[in-house]
Structure 1
Amino acid sequence: MAKSYKEIMNTIDTFIFDVDGVLTDSSVHVSQNGEMLRIMSIRDGFAMKAAIESGYNVCIISGGNNEGVRIRLRNLGITDIHLASPNKVETFKEYTELYNIKPENILYMGDDIPDYHVMQLVGLPTCPQDAVSEIKAISKYISHKNGGKGAVREVIEQVMKVQGKWHLYYNGKHD
């Protein structure tokens, strides 16, 4: 019998997120000088920081490359940031081998075709509500929120609640 996504959430110790379409709404605002600007949710940032401070691994794997995104993620305490990744599966394998992380203990959130193959390798493939149909078809959990609009916060909060860590965090009793 297949495990429910809530049962799988109980074993998660690592979160991996794509950027565009997951941490952003997949829009790119282009300035007059050609700089591409993205908008990220403060609530998603809060949840990623809470996860890190509660002992979870948080990793970013993205095909995009934007220094502003890197700075934002570093300011949240994320150290494993892989931007301009030409092969997400290869980056994923290098990351999991480096830290000896079991793929079945990973929640990966992606939204589009470049995430497809890596999502097939993890215990809990997830996506935002507005992900493409191919990604929705392989996701064990589809957020009720769109990318850049709280989908990351939703899955982190759910995992932490299932594991009894969310209330510890917001009550100030985290490590």
Structure 2
Amino acid sequence: MLKEKALKIKMFLMDVDGVLTDGKVIYDSKGNELKSFNIKDGLAIGLLHKAGIKTGIITGRNSPMVERRANELKINEVFQGKRKKIDTYNNIKEKYSLKDEEILYIGDDLVDIPVLKKVGFPVAVADAVEDVKNFCIYITEKKGGEGAVREVVELILKLRDEYEKIIKEFTDA
């Protein structure tokens, strides 16, 4: 079942806080917001691009750190300040002429549920709230911000029999 669903994926969408980060928001003494991103997740996003899979972020908060990280990773679509994520999801789907079953979404909290209910491959991180996990076909072993995105990327690419070919540039030195 997972393999069939993985073969259809054309878009990999993610939440940020609690998925690409550990969900903590840190403020310095000057009021600047700091976020910690996992480098392994970043490399995995590059692997998706090599596989021809588009990537996107839909997050409820606004942060210059997210914009910066998304630009570094060449993420195709970045939407911040979207508390009602389903509207953004529908716009992305329409823009790329995608069907629900061609989209994977990984989330961790209640605001993600409407999107998780629609996509063909709904994923929750290990430390997602239980209500989110109930709507997912895959729950990561890793927590958000600790390589959960990398885990899902590797899973998808392996199910598609593309992983070995894509990582060849790293293993053939």
TM bucket (normalised to shorter chain) is over 0.9
Which of these residues, 77, 97, 100, is aligned with residue 100 of structure 1?
A: 97
1:17 alignment counterpart: 14
| Equivalent-residue separation in structure 1 for 2:112 and 2:91 (angstroms) | 16
Q: What count of residue pairs does the alignment treat as equivalent?
A: 170
**Aligned counterparts, 1:93-172, within 5 A:** 93-172=90-169
1:61 alignment counterpart: 58
**Aligned counterparts, 1:33-52, within 5 A:** 33-52=30-49
- Runs of 4+ in structure 1 off by over 3 angstroms are none
| Equivalent-residue separation in structure 2 for 1:161 and 1:14 (angstroms) | 16
1:6 alignment counterpart: 3
**TM-score normalized by the length of structure 2:** 0.94
Q: Which amino acid aligns with 1:79?
A: N
Q: CA deviation at 1:86?
A: 3.1
SS in 1 for 2:134: helix
Q: Which amino acid aligns with 1:110?
A: G
Structure 1 gaps of 5+ residues are none
SS in 2 for 1:109: strand
| Equivalent-residue separation in structure 2 for 1:50 and 1:5 (angstroms) | 19
Assess if the C-alpha contact under 8 Å between 2:3 and 2:160 holds in 1.
no
| Equivalent-residue separation in structure 1 for 2:123 and 2:2 (angstroms) | 10
Q: Which amino acid aligns with 1:165?
A: E
1:68-102 C-alpha deviation (Å, 9 max, x unpaired): 21111111111310111132000000011011011
Q: CA deviation at 1:5?
A: 2.5
Structure 2 gaps of 5+ residues are none
Supply the RMSD in Å over aligned alpha carbons.
1.2
Q: Which amino acid aligns with 2:85?
A: K
| Equivalent-residue separation in structure 2 for 1:68 and 1:27 (angstroms) | 13
2:79 alignment counterpart: 82
**TM-score normalized by the length of structure 1:** 0.93
